Structure 1
Amino acid sequence: MGCSAKARWAAGALGVAGLLCAVLGAVMIVMVPSLIKQQVLKNVRIDPSSLSFNMWKEIPIPFYLSVYFFDVMNPSEILKGEKPQVRERGPYVYREFRHKSNITFNNNDTVSFLEYRTFQFQPSKSHGSESDYIVMPNILVLGAAVMMENKPMTLKLIMTLAFTTLGERAFMNRTVGEIMWGYKDPLVNLINKYFPGMFPFKDKFGLFAELNNSDSGLFTVFTGVQNISRIHLVDKWNGLSKVDFWHSDQCNMINGTSGQMWPPFMTPESSLEFYSPEACRSMKLMYKESGVFEGIPTYRFVAPKTLFANGSIYPPNEGFCPCLESGIQNVSTCRQTGKIEPVVLPLLWFAESGAMEGETLHTFYTQLVLMPKVMHYAQYVLLALGCVLLLVPVICQIRSQGPEDTVSQPGLAAGPDRPPSPYTPLLPDSPSGQPPSPTA
C-alpha cells in the first residue's frame, strides 16, 4: 500500500525537520566546546562587565579560621624542671570576611587593590567561648628574658625586679579573646619607654591583633583582559616585583596569584602557586587527587613535603635560612618582631577553610556544570533525532513503489491440460451431427 499525497507531504516536512536537527547537532558538536570556553574566559576576567567581578571584589564564600590552643596543665611543675603536660582546647572558630577596596585599573592590563579582613567569633561552630581561660607561656616575659641573655648582670637584675613589681610570671592565664586580639600589659609600656624599638607594638599585645581590620598589602595583579593566560598572577606586591627578606633570588621571587583565584581550565599537571604576605614568600601546592564537591568536579592540591623543609634536606630552601627543624620557618626577617630572638615554642595551631554554599554554589553549579552538561547531551540528541526523522520520507518513498499489476490476454484456446476459458466462443454443429474439427 503506498502513501497518500497528504502523507507524502507530512513525510517531506519531517525530513526537512530531521535535516535541520542533524545539521544543528553536528554544528553544536563542533562549536559548543569553543563557545563555552570563550564564555568562561570572558566572564572570569577581572573586569566590571564580567559576571565574576563582584565575586572577586567581595568574595561570597565564607572563610573560617579555626584556632586550637595548647593549655598548660602543670606550669608550677615545669618551673621545677618537669616535662610539660598540655591539653588541646578548641576549636575557637571565627568567620573571616574579606573585601577589596582602593581598586585601581592600570594601563598595563593590571589592577591594584587592598584587601581587608575582619573576624567574627562563631559560637555555634566553636567548642568553647572567647571568655575561656587558657594557661600558656607568657610570651612577653619570655621574649624580654631572651633579649636580656647577653646584657650586663645589672640590667638583668633590673628586669627581674620589674617582673616582680609588675606581677609578671613565666606563665599567664588569659582569655581566648585576649590572647587572640590583644590585652594591655604594663610590661609593654615599660619596655617601650626604656628600650624603644624592642617590641613591634606600642599598646596591646595579641597573637592575631595585626590581622583583624587590616589589609595584607597592596597587590597588583593581571586582569586577563588582554592576556587571559596571566589572569590573577601577581605583578607586584607593595610596589615590589620581588622581596628582599631572604638570601637567594629564588626565595625572594613573587610567584603565582594572591592566593584566592587561579586561571580557569587547570589540569592535574598544573600547580597552585601563590604569594603569602603572612609567610613573606611564595608557596606552591601540587595536585594530589580528583574529587566531587556538591556535584562539582574538583582537583585537590596539597603542600609537598619539601615546602617547609630546611636547607640541609631540600637545598633550594637554603635561602630561607638560618634554618630551624624541617616544618618550621623563621619569619623574623620580615614580620616586625623587633629585637626578640627566635624561640621555638608551640602555643597553638590554626586552620583556614572555606567552601561555596547557598546561592553562590547553586549559580556556580548551574552555569559551569549543569548547562554545559545539558548542551553536551543535547547536541547528540539532536543529531540522533535528525537521523531518525530523515528516514521517514525514505520509508514513505519505498512503500509508494508497490509491484506492477499483470494483464491476461483473451482468446487463448484451452489445451489438453488447460480447462476451457469461459470467454472462448463455441462453434456450431456440422451437418453430419459430428462436432466440427478444429480449424488450423
Structure 2
Amino acid sequence: MTYSEAIDYLYAQLPVFHRIGAKAIKPGLDNVIKLCAYLGNPQEKFKTIHVGGTNGKGSSSHLLAAVLQSAGYKTGLYTSPHLKSFTERIRINGSPIPDEEVAEFVDLHKAFIEDLKPSFFEVTVGMAFDYFARQNVDIAVIEVGLGGRLDSTNIITPLVSLITNIGWDHSDVLGDSLQKIAYEKAGIIKTGVPVVISEYDDETYPVFKSRAEESGSEIIVGSDWYTATDLGVEENGRKIVLNNENGVDFPATLGLLGSYQLKNVAGVLAVLKILAQPGLFPDPSHSEAFHISDTDVLNGLANVVTVTGLQGRWQVLQQNPTVICDTGHNEPGIRNVMESLQSVSYEQLHLVVGFVKDKDLSKVIRLFPKDARYYFCEPNIPRALDAEILAEEFHTYGLEGEIFKDVNQALESALACAKPEDCILVTGSTYVVAELNQLKA
C-alpha cells in the first residue's frame, strides 16, 4: 500500500470530523482504548504533556515542543488538524512522520481497523502513539482534538496538563455555556497530575479548581507565575519582556507574531517550570526532572516556527501589499485576530473570509470591521459554509463583498485591488488557510 492509497483508504472508510463535523465523533473512549490495547498500549511507553483549550492549544503545543527540542530532548508532537499534509499531525523533533510509516501502519492494521470501525481521529491517535513509542521519544506533547473528557487523546497520564483558555466553539458538542464547555475541557485533569490554566477567567476557573481538588491535583494559573509585555514586532519576531513571580525581567523574542500569543506564553512557561522541578514525580520512572535552561527557553520561543514547522498563525505570506493568514475560526479566535490587526499599519484592509457550517456567526461577524473590503470564499470540504450564504450573513450586518468559490481566487482578486501599502488578511477557518497556494507544503 502506498501513502496515497493509505490516506485515501482512511478518508473513504472512516468518519472524518473536518469533513462532516460532529457526525464523525464516536462517543466515549472505548474504541481508542481497544485500538491502543491491540497496539500494545504504546501511550504508556513515553512521557507526555497534555494540552487542551478552545484557542491557543496548537500554538502552545508547538512552543512547548520547541523548547524541549532546544533542551536536547527527542520530542514527539501530535496536533490536529493538518494544513497541507496529513503527516503534519505527527512529528518528532519537527519532522513529520514519513509517508511510508503511515502506509505501513494502515496496511499492517487494516483488518483490525475494519473490525473495530473507529473514527479517523481515533486511528490517527493510535498511529501517533505507536510511532512515538517505536521511535523512543523522551517526551511527547499531545494536543486535544475536541473537548477533553471524551477526546481520544485522553487515555494518557501526562506529567502535566495545560488548558489554554475557554471560549465559544463546538457548543453543539461541548455544551451551551462556558461552564459546560470548561467541564469538558477539565476532563484532561488527572489524579495527582499538576494542571496549568493559561488564563484566569471568573466564569470557568471554579470549574477547573473543583475538578483539580477532586483529583488531588495542584492547579496553577500561568499568569500568576509569568507575564509577557509586548514591545512590538521587529524583523526577526515579536519582542517581549518576560517577568517571573520573583519580579525578574528578561527580554525575549517570540517567533509567533500574533499579539494574542502573549496569552499563551505564561501557560507554556509555567508548564516548563513544573517539568524542571526536582522531586515532583513520585513514580521512580519520573523522578529525574527535565533539564531546561533559560537559553533553551529563549531559543525555543524565538525559533518555534523553524524547529516545529508551525504554520498559519498570523503568518506573513508577503509584503507590498502585506498578506497575512491566520487560522482563527471562532469568537475568541477572531477577536484575537482583530486585536493583532491593531498593530499593523495599512491604508486599506482587505479581508478574505471563509467559514465552516457549524460556527455561530452571530457571535463572530460583529467583530469584523466596517471599513474593510470583503472577499467571501469557502473551503473545498463538505462541511464548508457556502460563500453565498456567508455573504448574506455578513450583509445582515452591513458588510458587503465579492463572492468566490475558492480562497486562491479570492486572494487573487484582493491582490489585484490592493495597493502596496494595503493589508490583506485571510482568516475564518483552518481549512481556508490550508488551501492557500502561498502556504508551503
TM-score bin (small chain): under 0.3
Greater helix proportion: 2
Q: TM-score, normalised by structure 1?
A: 0.22
Greater strand proportion: 1
Which of structures 1 and 2 has the bigger CA Rg? 1
Q: TM-score, normalised by structure 2?
A: 0.22
